[in-house]
Structure 1
């Protein structure tokens, strides 16, 4: 129930939900409170356009994507003991996979990089992702199948009880502790890395960030000011991470 409530609040506070709500409320009020209603409509429109601009989304993501990629030499130098790959969602009822669930594109990007690090370092892998919506299989199990069946990479630990990044860290720590693992290479998206490192370190793990799939990119100057759906999604991701850190500070 908590996860559903959080998703509902996100839908209201994140683009484009907040802007749509502002414009809808303004439309309802404009007959009685003309100035207030008009300001809400204009404000919602301006915020929606701003959130859709690459110049806005790129700068927000740049605040998060400040961790440089890692190398096998750095993993060896810091004596990493394991690779932890965070789940990033699932592809539900995939028709090309006989209607079964499989990993989402975000999760697949993380798995691909985790498999690369494993081949370079030989370190064992833990995958972490739960099943908060009650699907047939936990996300961690889907990740294990893809790594072992498609990438031909073994998975030593599967964490499948978590519902968010905080619980990823909590339950992963419990499994790793039993094998004396305290120093990990953490694989997730570059924009998700700051929050992930924070919570894993709070669970007494020494974290070597191993970010992948950087979102900030160069483009012609003019296109920085042309709204598009991709930039809107990037703005949403950045705000999700920023608000997520505030929520974790209050919740945990």
Structure 2
């Protein structure tokens, strides 16, 4: 990964929980003698927040409003869409069971499965968007990795691959440059439910009509005692939700998000 990529990733992870909360706790501990009251607030507050977002209840309270911004797509039929656009996610590097090739991560896998389903329903051509090839020291972009998996493992042909984008805004900008000249102005857009609203705004900003096709609704819950038990899965979902809230706020504040926002 490039130096800029490493610095951005480090900064992003530092300002998001749990790292940011651990920093606040450490700061509170260091000032405990000079500022005991402030120290208590920082230490107790950071631990309390970390506990809350590590529970299923906390994760759902953060993620459910994001998922409710775009309802699930009931059918690919009758939408008027001319193509399917799927956003890549991450990668598993040097997967041994695939002969040492990079493969899509579990987030990308869920998006690919839904892409295959909607393609079977509609027979619409597919565009895959996502770069990051050079940052991993190889020539395989996320789009190329996902396209290969779609074609080989899901029997879903990919017509277009956008291989240069590094964030959601660029996914939209560079995909539009491929689709609009090809006569495609209305698309089915596939990404995670928590990410969908921000992605939809970005693609609409580029002049595309978007039919939201969210997948991976993770934040439905029943109120029971287990909702208050901290788990790594809940903390991971809270991290994702906070990440998306920050990205959405940056988008709303920026008149040119594709130039300014770096949340992917």
What range is the shorter-chain TM-score in?
A: over 0.9
Q: Which residue of 1 aligns with 2:113?
A: 112
**Given the alignment, which residue of 225, 237, 241 partners 1:238?**
241
How many Å apart are 1:55 and its aligned residue?
A: 1.2
Work out the CA distance in 2 between the residues paired with 1:239 and 1:218.
18
Work out the CA distance in 2 between the residues paired with 1:135 and 1:78.
40
Unpaired runs of 5+ residues, structure 1, are none
**Given the alignment, which residue of 216, 227, 245 partners 1:213?**
216
Q: Is the 8 A contact 2:60 2:221 kept in 1?
A: no
Q: Which residue of 2 aligns with 1:162?
A: 165
**Is structure 2 residue 45 aligned with structure 1 residue 18?**
no
**Is structure 2 residue 136 aligned with structure 1 residue 134?**
yes
**Given the alignment, which residue of 46, 52, 55 partners 1:53?**
55
Work out the CA distance in 1 between the residues paired with 2:46 and 2:219.
25
Unpaired runs of 5+ residues, structure 2, are 255-259
CA displacement, residues 83-113 of structure 1 (integer Å, 9 cap, x when unaligned): 0000011111222222221100000100110
How many Å apart are 1:3 and its aligned residue?
A: 4.2
Q: Which residue of 2 aligns with 1:99?
A: 100
Provide the TM-score with structure 1 as the length reference: 0.93
Q: Is the 8 A contact 1:82 1:125 kept in 2?
A: yes
The correspondence of residues 24-39 of structure 1 with structure 2, limited to 5 A, is 24-39=26-41
For residue 219 of structure 2, give the secondary structure of its aligned residue in structure 1: coil
Provide the TM-score with structure 2 as the length reference: 0.89
Work out the CA distance in 2 between the residues paired with 1:17 and 1:232.
12
Work out the CA distance in 1 between the residues paired with 2:63 and 2:248.
14
Considering only aligned residues, what root-mean-square deviation do their CA atoms show, in Å? 1.6
Q: Which residue of 2 aligns with 1:191?
A: 194
Q: Is the 8 A contact 2:64 2:220 kept in 1?
A: no
Equivalenced residue count is 250
Q: Which residue of 1 aligns with 2:257?
A: none
Work out the CA distance in 2 between the residues paired with 1:246 and 1:168.
18
How many Å apart are 1:230 and its aligned residue?
A: 1.1
